[in-house]
A = this chain, B = another copy of it.
Amino acid sequence: MLVDIKRPVPSDIEIAQEAKMRPILEVALEAGLREDELDLYGKYKAKVHLSVLERLADRPNGKYIDVTAITPTPLGEGKTVTTIGLSQSLAYLGEKVITCIRQPSQGPTFGIKGGAAGGGYAQVVSMEDFNLHLTGDIHAVGAAHNLLAAAIDNRLQKESRWSTNFLAKALCPNDEYTPSMRRRLAKLGIQSEKPSDLSPEDKERMFRLDIDPYSIQWRRVVDVSDASLRNIIIGLGTVNDGPPRQSGYDITVASEIMAALALCSGLEDLRERMGRIVIGTNKKGEPITAEDLNVAGAMTVLLKDAVMPNLMQTLMGSPTFVHCGPFANIAQGNNSILADRIALKLVGPNGYVVTESGFGADCGMEKFFNIKCRVSGLIPNCVVLVCTVRALKMHGGGPKVVAGKPLDKAYTQENLELLEKGLPNLLQHIENVLKFGVPVVVAINRFKDDTEAEVELIRQAATQTGAEGAFVHTAWADGGAGAVDLARAVMKACEKPSQFRFLYPDDFSIKEKIETIAREIYRADGVTYTPEAEEKIKLFTDMGLSRLPICMAKTHLSFTHDPALKGAPRGWILPVTDIRASVGAGFLYPLCGTMRTMPGLPTRPAFTDVDLDLKTGRVVGLF
């Protein structure tokens, strides 16, 4: 460990700041990277060039472990602590291991939840870099996203003022097409070598995008929790500032660009994805893309460094990739494929890559398998399912758990009855993992009031349902030494031959895919669709998008669409209210309820405590 373990356990930031970090160059070289494959960003973080994938193309992959969780309480059940703790214990046992996690948004860091880099003695350091800017990837996503947004409104404004001839002349001052324009010509089926060749009709089709302002689904983004930007009117002022229309902001990590970055296989693929992004339609209802706006190249240029994974370290000094943080409801909620891919090559066939999926296993893990692994072709070897006594008691009917309020005594005293009633939530998740043909190990994140009888009850039920076992870990308090049993069980599970399979094939219809997930994972009796959703299904099918995987936008607080329904509900119907397409990211996302894409701030935002200690230059108050 990079830090001496103390009792009582100090605050996260105190532990992180006491750590004697290894130079990241040393961590990188030990992991098998070459110096010329790195861009250092200071002494303790680095970007890794994608060229390493070519160099190691022939090396077999390491074992691929996904950490997920049962349906959580609003407090979270310690998935990141388990992810980092498991990695630290694998390193402690002398195994080759790389952790791959998401980069957090600065919005919640300064808003509701404070910093996030694990916790206690299971953390990624430096904590300040992890929580603040890192190497600027989220800012780059925001810059690319907002450049496209500006391009849309600028085009609306210019087309409202100028003739088609003027537009054509302005866009092609030398009577030449750009490569982007040639792509649009091809899409429109127009044969033309230069703009002056075009018939008036073709010129109109080519240069007047005729965007329907009411169709525009591309909003703007900022990496701040700013509720007052959720619904805004833009374009007020004078003729050069307009036209006015309603729009709004999402938090940057909710951008489709973040989802696309996390799923891309490199710059070439990213360039294609940027071009495919659909921002809305023209007045005939035909999709308008970033390529049509001639901005996809510039967007990719803005992302050319962000595509490289960021290397950091755990408190064991073991390598960690922190790369991309797409939303877990309207997007896939998993870190980047590129980070995982590089990590799997670096550790090689005898090593381990531990990654984490957002939300519970019905959300993040299902998307890890059906979207992320489908796109990457990587084969997972083991799932670690995190649970707590607390959450299971809640599923058994325990009182409401509310952030910031003291826990009811049901949660701090032994209560086997409540726990037993809650077990079906855990068991359904275990069954779900097994449907993908992947072995599952349960990790019990134990709190001080949990009794041995409670832990034993979980252990028995989990094993009977097909888990490889259930193991208490104390990585939060004990660091690398705290999850040794879990680590050994995971290593053993990884020895099993993988029988990984997707839940649905590419050629299922959109409805078949949705209904398969609803039936097999959520255990709904059926799915209903609003007329709007039915219309979209037809539209997307006609557009040839039905082969895309499905990214369910559903609450993570229940197997159902209703966050109040705990446990393992049966006899219910999943309502799909709308379906949207992230064509650049490459999935369709059905909406099962309202998804918030811009958080707000509480009365006392987390920024209230954050400051610089001017004597030491250290950050304080970042929890």
A interface residues with partner B (beta carbon < 8 Å): 39-43, 47, 106, 110, 128, 132-133, 135-136, 139-140, 142-143, 146-147, 149-151, 153-154, 157-158, 162, 166-167, 170-171, 173, 178-180, 220, 222-237, 240-242, 246, 267-268, 271, 294-295, 297-298, 300-302, 304-305, 600-605, 607-612, 614, 617, 619, 621-622
Contact = CB atoms under 8 A, between A and B. Distances in A.
Contacts of A167: 603
A564 to B, nearest CB: 20
Contacts of A40: 40-42
Contact of A231 (B241, B267, B611): B241
Contacts of A223: 143
Contact of A179 (B143, B237, B268, B611): B611
Contact of A151 (B39, B242, B305, B607): B607
Given A40-B41, A228-B241, A232-B235, 7 more contacts: A150-B224, A150-B225, A151-B607, A162-B603, A228-B234, A231-B241, A267-B612
B611 A297 contact: yes
A277 to B, nearest CB: 15
Contacts of A602: 170
A608 B157 contact: no
B226 A106 contact: no
Contacts of A612: 267, 271, 297, 300-301, 304
B228 A604 contact: no
A585 to B, nearest CB: 19
Given A228-B242, A601-B151, A614-B267, A607 B294 contact: yes
Contact of A233 (B180, B236, B619): B236
A301 B179 CA distance: 43
A242 B157 CA distance: 28
25 contacts: A40-B40, A106-B302, A110-B147, A136-B136, A146-B222, A146-B226, A150-B226, A150-B227, A154-B228, A154-B601, A158-B603, A166-B603, A170-B602, A178-B608, A180-B611, A228-B242, A231-B235, A231-B236, A232-B236, A233-B236, A294-B607, A298-B610, A298-B611, A301-B610, A304-B619
A617 B178 contact: no
Given A157-B228, A300-B612, A612-B300, A607 B133 contact: no
Contacts of A220: 222, 229
B42 A154 contact: no
A224 B222 CA distance: 12
A151 B601 CA distance: 8
A440 B416 CA distance: 87
A227 B179 contact: no
Given A603-B158, A612-B301, A230 B224 contact: no
